[in-house]
Amino acid sequence: MKTYRITLNLESAFATPLKGDALFGQLCWAIRNRLGENRLTGLLDGYTRGQPFAVVSDAFPQDYLPLPKLPGRFYDKIDGIDRKAIKKRCWLPEEAASVPVTQWLVQAKTASDVIGQVKNLSEKHPQPHNTINRQTHTTGEGGFAPYSIEQEWFVPDIAWSIYLLLDTDRLSLDDCRQCLEDIGNIGFGRDASIGLGKFSVIGFAETTLPGQAGANACLTLAPCAPQGLGFDGKNSFYQLFTRFGRHGDIAVHQEGKPFKNPVLLAQTAAVFAAQPSASGFIGQGIGGNGKLSKTLSATVHQGYAPSIAIHLQERI
């Protein structure tokens, strides 16, 4: 698989975070809509057997990577800075990824360091919604009660990067880029029909993810499913979350429920003690054969994540 850096310009608010597993799901729908269902079925052959055609990372500020939340003993101490200020250091400059992990916290930046005067890369605001009862021509109770959806507005003029591992023998670079552009034009995630989730692809270039000599661990760039893969649990560090997924596109209107079975994942920026794979990703494909969805039995979920090879030095 080849590695690509995709650069995005975000053009609207978002109601769904730009996470790698969600991006992969919408990429599958874009492939189905542009290239046909048979083509998508062929691409997904072997997906749950360690043979993904694509693995997608989260979106990160351009030239930055997420700093893993390792126990403090793994990082050099920073004198004269309180704990709250240290916790705000969450972005690692990409060029610093090759220096020893012990120095990463010193090298890490806050959101204000990344973008200047503004404190955060984005702000969240509630957006009121109404559902009109066509009999009474007004809102009401139950399903007609007013509600709000949280929207995330990003700081303008900041480019965002996605790292994509792509098997170009199975899906060409041109087709992949076109499908990603389709997502940006239609809108990503929730409330795309009312203008949310718009972006443009302003860069698509082959790249190499940074790595360290003597690597004995992997840093993930997307949520992943590490269950049963034999990682050293005592020396792996990650945060768990449950993905309550739901179908998108036309599957929302098909017979059955739009919701998928919940999936337990390790959050982005996890560190797993394992020899890095030559494939550039870790994790596993989830679903297929009705395991994830009763509406579409072939449904799969990206439990893979692009990974960076790092050397984790134990410090007592």
Averaged pLDDT, groups of 10, the chain, 316 residues long: 96 95 96 96 95 97 94 89 88 94 94 82 82 83 80 90 97 97 95 93 95 93 94 92 83 69 95 91 93 85 96 72
C-alpha triplet 270, 56, 32: angle, nearest 5°: 145
Q: What confidence score (pLDDT) does residue 133 get?
A: 82
d(CA 42, CA 20): 21
Strand partners, 265: 241
pTM strictly above 0.85: yes
Q: What confidence score (pLDDT) does residue 316 get?
A: 44
In one letter, which amino acid is 89?
A: R
Report how far Cα 11 is from the mean position of its chain's Cα atoms: 18
Least Cα distance to 28 among 304, 307, 300, 288 occurs for 300
d(CA 298, CA 34): 19
Q: What confidence score (pLDDT) does residue 20 get?
A: 97
Least Cα distance to 52 among 290, 289, 282, 295 occurs for 282
Residue 124: partners with Cβ closer than 8 Å, 6 or more residues away: 150, 151, 152, 153
Is the sign of the CA dihedral 192, 196, 200, 206 positive or negative?
negative
Q: What confidence score (pLDDT) does residue 256 get?
A: 60
Q: What confidence score (pLDDT) does residue 129 get?
A: 73
d(CA 171, CA 153): 32
Element (H, E) at 159: strand 159-166
